[in-house]
Amino acid sequence: MAEVVGLSPQGEGIAQVEGRAVIVPRAVPGDRVEARVKGKYKGRLLAMPEQFLEMAVTRQEPPCQHFGRCGGCRWQDLPYVDQLRFKEGIVRSALEERGVNAGEFLPVLASPKPLFYRNKMEFSFATDQAGRLMLGLHLRGRFDRVFDVEECHLQSTLSNRIIRAVRQHADRAGLPAYNLKTHDGLLRFLVIRQAVRREETLVDLVVAQYPNAEVDALIAGVLEVVPEITTFVLTRHSGKAQVAVGQAQWVIKGRGWIEEECGGLVFAISPRSFFQTNPLQAEQLYALACRMGGDLQGLTVLDLYCGTGSLSLHLARTAGAVLGVEVVAEAVADARGNAQRNGIANCEFEAGPAEEVLPRLQREGRRFDRIFADPPRAGLHRKVLEALGALQAPQVVYISCNPLSLAEDLAGLQAMGYRVAAVQPVDMFPQTPHCEAVSLLVLGG
Ligand SMILES: C[S@@+](CC[C@H](N)C(=O)[O-])C[C@H]1O[C@@H](n2cnc3c(N)ncnc32)[C@H](O)[C@@H]1O
């Protein structure tokens, strides 16, 4: 018998057995379980629960029929209020374990929608053992195994209709899925992107060969039964890497991109551009980051890891001048287009890795009154951290999607003379253990 006393940063239960930490998947703090040790996970013992003797949280019936098999919504059996409470705990523990004094720790900001909140989903084609075509998501813990999605509660019901239509038409036409081992076959990915405020839908079908008359017939069949698709893009990707990007792209219907409104601004979203996947919560995230940055009137602001400029443009509405830095050149082109689209002239963008651009800006003697940073999961590069220390901006607002790198980077910034004034977790990904957080750092005391 084991009592679960904590949660790992990945959202798995942690029990203490004979002085050793044991990972217990599906368990939460306060649960008492009978569990059998199965091996090791990230250097810790892993025990699978066989029986729950006591549940600290009454589990609910998960709305999705794929719960348990799907690698996506691991927390769908937990009531949303408890998910929020546990996320707050994960962020708090990560900071405590790294010795970061969080200053004011604000309560987690709930997502406006706990279900059907995503604007982008990527589905994979595969073939089952009977040779039948499948289109769906990855099985939990298996990047190489796919199951047929009948319904997904993260994107819209329209998205579910699109998956069914593509699968049915492709199956009827006998089109083969791409085979990861032999590199034969045709169909690879189906990416669906939606603009929730503008009600636009982009479908990107990724195939191994094109032009291809059978693919044209497939798309025509799908568009006939789902006319709500506003734009349909075809991507050819013949390379071996299993990623939904390619060498060439054709716009089959519509203009090839969709437009979304966020915080009163308009953004173009093309098949490859980054846009926060929970758009309603993104509005709250940006509003919070702007609030933490305080009054920007007349100030010079740097937005590191700016993507397509969504936060930069929010900041530019009050700041004197904003510079956005982003490594993906296409995203920078989108960011410039977005600035124009919104009539914003005080925002510039530079393409390049932050770890090269920031040290150069510092060597050139550039000064910033506020620095915003929203790095990918791995957190700040060592050279970015050092340059931040040298630049000595009076305030830094740090947005993180990974509590471990958040703790590491806040500790690094503390060592550079910053004090963490406030941290607020933000739930961008309901039904999963992932948690975003916004922090304010102030130079000196
Ligand atoms: C979490 S996203 C944030 C995007 C943006 N702040 C937003 O809210 O839409 C992180 C961004 O960092 C970019 N990125 C990744 N590595 C980078 C690097 N070394 N230098 C600059 N940008 C990078 C990614 O392409 C991505 O756009």
Give 63-82 pLDDT, tens digit per residue: 999 999 998 899 999 999 99
> pLDDT grade, residue 445 (50/70/90)?
low
Statement to judge: residues 206 and 170 lie in one domain: yes
**Dihedral sign of CA atoms 412, 416, 420, 424 in order:** negative
pLDDT, average across residues 41-58: 91
Statement to judge: residues 208 and 300 lie in one domain: no
244: Cβ contacts below 8 Å, ≥ 6 apart: 122, 188, 189, 191, 204, 206, 235, 237
- What is the residue range of 146's domain? 120-261
Give the chain's domain count.
Answer: 3
* Spatial CA neighbour of 377 closest among 429, 302, 323: 429
Statement to judge: residues 109 and 124 lie in one domain: no
Statement to judge: residues 98 and 245 lie in one domain: no
Inside any domain, residue 42: yes
CATH of the domain at 155: 2.40.50.1070
Ligand 1 atom nearest the C-alpha of 372 is 6
Ligand 1 centroid–CA 356 distance in Å is 14
What's the predicted TM-score (pTM) here? 0.94
pLDDT, average across residues 352-364: 98
Mutate which of 327, 350, 377, 434 for ligand 1 pocket (most atoms within 8 A of beta carbon): 327
403: pLDDT strictly greater than 90: yes
Statement to judge: residues 231 and 103 lie in one domain: no
> pLDDT grade, residue 42 (50/70/90)?
confident
Ligand 1 centroid–CA 353 distance in Å is 9
Statement to judge: residues 223 and 291 lie in one domain: no
Inside any domain, residue 272: no
pLDDT, average across residues 29-52: 90
CA distances to 104, 258, 376, 402, 410 from 405, in Å: 19, 32, 9, 6, 8
pLDDT tens per residue across span 365-399: 999 999 999 999 999 999 999 999 999 999 999 99
Spell out where 185-272 has E strands.
187-195, 200-207, 231-236, 248-253, 258-262, 265-269
CATH of the domain at 418: 3.40.50.150
Q: What is the C-alpha to C-alpha distance for residues 142 and 35, in angstroms, rounded to an integer?
A: 22
**3-state class (DSSP) for residue 439:** strand
Inside any domain, residue 79: no
Distance, C-alpha 137 to centroid of its chain: 16
Q: Is the peptide bond before 211 cis (omega within 30 degrees of 0)?
A: yes
Buried b (16+ CB within 10 A) or exposed e, 278-308: bbebbbbbbebbbebbeebeebbbbbbbbbb
pLDDT tens per residue across span 86-116: 999 999 999 999 999 999 999 999 999 999 9
Statement to judge: residues 344 and 233 lie in one domain: no
pLDDT tens per residue across span 225-266: 999 999 999 999 988 777 767 779 999 999 999 999 999 999
Identify the pLDDT of residue 163. Answer: 97
Q: How many CA atoms lie within 13 A of 330 on its CB side?
A: 9
Statement to judge: residues 208 and 107 lie in one domain: no
Look at ligand 1, atom 27, and give the residue with the nearest C-alpha. 307
CATH of the domain at 48: 2.40.50.140
Q: What is the C-alpha to C-alpha distance for residues 148 and 133, in angstroms, rounded to an integer?
A: 9
Statement to judge: residues 394 and 434 lie in one domain: yes
Of 34, 56, 78, which closes a domain?
Answer: 56
Inside any domain, residue 273: no
Statement to judge: residues 335 and 433 lie in one domain: yes
Inside any domain, residue 78: no
Ligand 1 centroid–CA 113 distance in Å is 25
131: Cβ contacts below 8 Å, ≥ 6 apart: none
303: Cβ contacts below 8 Å, ≥ 6 apart: 309, 311, 312, 315, 322, 323, 324, 325, 372, 374
Identify the pLDDT of residue 145. Answer: 87
Inside any domain, residue 390: yes
Asked if 64 is an active-site residue, the reply is no
Phi, psi of 318 (to 5 degrees): -115, -25
Statement to judge: residues 307 and 436 lie in one domain: yes
Ligand 1 atom nearest the C-alpha of 308 is 9
Of 228, 261, 294, which closes a domain?
Answer: 261
Task: Retrieve residue 53's tokens.
Answer: 């003797």
- Of the listed ranges 138-152, 273-287, 326-340, the least confidently predicted one is 138-152
Mutate which of 305, 328, 374 for ligand 1 pocket (most atoms within 8 A of beta carbon): 305
Of 12, 35, 56, which closes a domain?
Answer: 56
Statement to judge: residues 292 and 434 lie in one domain: yes
Is residue 418 within 8 A of residue 271, CB to CB? The reply is no
Inside any domain, residue 343: yes
Inside any domain, residue 85: no
